[in-house]
Amino acid sequence: MVADTEALRAISDSFVRSHDFNGVPARRLLAAFNVGRPELEGQLSRLLISGQISLAFASHSENPHIKRLLDLPLDAQLAQLPKEDINGICVYPAADTIRSHTELPEYDDRPYTRRLALAEPQLVPAFFELNILEKYFRDPRYLCWFGDSSGSISIRDEYYLSDQTPERDKVSLRTFGIGYSHDRIRVLVVFLRYLSDLSADHQQAWKAHEVPGPCAINSDYERAVIWGAWPEFRSVYEAFIQEQIEINKLASLIGKPPLFRATFEAYQRPIEFSPMLRPTRRNLQDFIHLLDKMLSENLNKDFFKGDVPFEDRIESSDGSVEKRSLNTITLLESWLTPRYRTRDGEDVAQEISGPLREVRKARQPAAHALGPDEYDQSFPKQQDDLLGRVKQTLTKLRLVLSSHPRARGYAAPDWLDGDKIVFY
C-alpha cells in the first residue's frame, strides 16, 4: 500500500494532466495502490479529514468524472464512501494540494479556467453586469439569443472560418442566465464551465464586468441548467409575443385577415426585445421605438377593410374638403367601438388603445431628440412597467375577440391566463 503522500500525489497528478479537470476513478486507485476496498476507504477517509481531497458520487452529481456541483459536507462524504458503488466514486485534490503544480501558471491570463484548475466545481456561478452582453449583441460576427431568463452567444460560421477573424474572437458561450444582486438589480450569471471556454482576451473582458458581493441565480435558470427541470414561470416578453399569435388565430376564426402583420415566434423575436442591458435613457428610447414597431406599425389595415373608413374628411371654412389617412390605432378604436362593450355598456376601445397611444407618444420625442444620454437605474423598471401595461392591453384585446360567436371553440394556452407570468 502506498503512503498517503504518494497517494495524494497520484490523485493530484491525474487531475492536473486530465483533459477536462477530471477526477480519478476510485476503482483505478485499487489497482494503482494494490489495495482492497477497505484499505482504500481508510486512506481516502484520512485524506478527506485532513482537507486534502474531496469525493464526487454518481448518486449526487450523475457524472462524478466531472466535478459539477459543490462538495457534499465532510460528514456526508465520509458516510457515503462505503455505501457508493466503487464505479460511482471519483477523487479530486483540494485547491491547496495542487497550487504548487508548475502547470498552473499557464492559466494566469484565463481567470475562470484557473478556477477550474484549482478544482472548483464546473457549475459554480459567476455574476456580471448585464452590459457585458452589448459587446456581442452589437457585433455582427456573433449570433446571439436572449430568452429573458437565459441566452447564448456563438460566433457565426462565416466568421469562424474566416482568416480575417482573430483567433481570440472565435468564441462561443453555450449558456448564460439571469441573476439578481442583493438589491434585486438584474445581473448576468455564467457557470465556470462555459466561461472557461472563452479565449484569454474574452475571459479578461468578462472579469472586468464581474459583480462583487452576494448574488442569486434565477430559480428557473438554475432548475434548467443544474437539475434539468422545466421552468416554473414564463416571461412577460414571451407572453407579449404569444398574445399577438393568439390574436391572429382569433382573427382567422372570425373570418378576418391577421390583425398583426408579423408575429415573432421563438428565435424570430428581435434580440433587442429583452430586458435592458444598460440602464440608459437611449436604451429605453430604443426599446420604446421597437415596441411601437411591434404594435401600432405592425397593425394590419386589411383587418379593418370594409368595416371602417381609412380616411377622415375635414371640411374647411371655404368649403374645401381635405382627406386625411387615419393611423392604425384610430382604425382599431373605430372598429372596436360599435362592436364591443363591457357588460355595463362601457366602450372598451379607449381602454385597449390607451397603452398603444402611450407607446406612440413616448416614441415621438426620441425620433427627433439629439440630447445627451442619461444613466439611471430606474430605466429598467420603466421599461418593465410599460411592457406590462401593453401586455395587459393585448390580453384584453384577445378576450374581446374570443367573445365573437365564431370563436366559441377557441381556447388560449393555459399558461397565458395563469399566474406564472413574470419579469425575470
Q: Where are the domains positioned within the chain?
A: 4-98, 123-227, 235-422
Rounded-to-integer distance, Cα 381 and Cα 374, Å = 15
CA angle in degrees (0–180, nearest 5) for 135-137-138 = 70
Rounded-to-integer distance, Cα 64 and Cα 263, Å = 44
Q: What is the pLDDT of residue 77?
A: 96
Q: Which amino acid is at 123?
A: L
Q: What is the pLDDT of residue 186?
A: 94
| DSSP secondary structure letters along 83-98 | TS-GGGEEEEE-HHHH
Query: Cβ distance 44 to 1 under 8 Å?
Result: no
Rounded-to-integer distance, Cα 220 and Cα 189, Å = 12
pTM score over 0.95: no
What torsion do the CA atoms of 18, 22, 27, 30 make, to the nearest 10 degrees? Answer: 50
Report pLDDT digits (tens) over 367-385: 556 668 899 989 999 999 9
What count of residues does the chain have? Answer: 424
| DSSP secondary structure letters along 336-376 | HTTT-B-TT--B-HHHHHHHHHHHHHHHHHHHH--PPP-B-
Q: What is the pLDDT of residue 105?
A: 67
Query: Cβ distance 349 to 332 under 8 Å?
Result: yes
Query: Cβ distance 49 to 77 under 8 Å?
Result: no
What is the Cα Rg of the chain in Å?
29
Q: What is the pLDDT of residue 312?
A: 84
Q: What is the pLDDT of residue 346?
A: 77
* CA dihedral over 95, 96, 98, 104, signed as positive or negative: positive
Q: Is 3 exposed, middle or buried (0-12, 13-18, 19+ CB in 10 A)?
A: exposed
Rounded-to-integer distance, Cα 277 and Cα 287, Å = 11
The SS3 call for residue 217 is strand
Rounded-to-integer distance, Cα 298 and Cα 400, Å = 19
Q: What is the pLDDT of residue 319?
A: 67
Rounded-to-integer distance, Cα 68 and Cα 327, Å = 56
Regions in the chain scoring below 50 on pLDDT: none
Residue 143 φ then ψ, to 5°: -95, 115
Q: What is the pLDDT of residue 102?
A: 62
Q: What is the pLDDT of residue 55?
A: 97
Q: What is the pLDDT of residue 314?
A: 76
Query: Cβ distance 43 to 81 under 8 Å?
Result: no
Residue of 155, 192, 188 whose CA lies nearest to 170: 155
Q: What is the pLDDT of residue 352?
A: 94
Strands 421-422 and 234-235: parallel
Residue of 193, 33, 30, 13 whose CA lies nearest to 97: 13
> Residue with C-alpha cell 472563452?
198
Q: What is the pLDDT of residue 414?
A: 95
CA angle in degrees (0–180, nearest 5) for 44-91-63 = 140
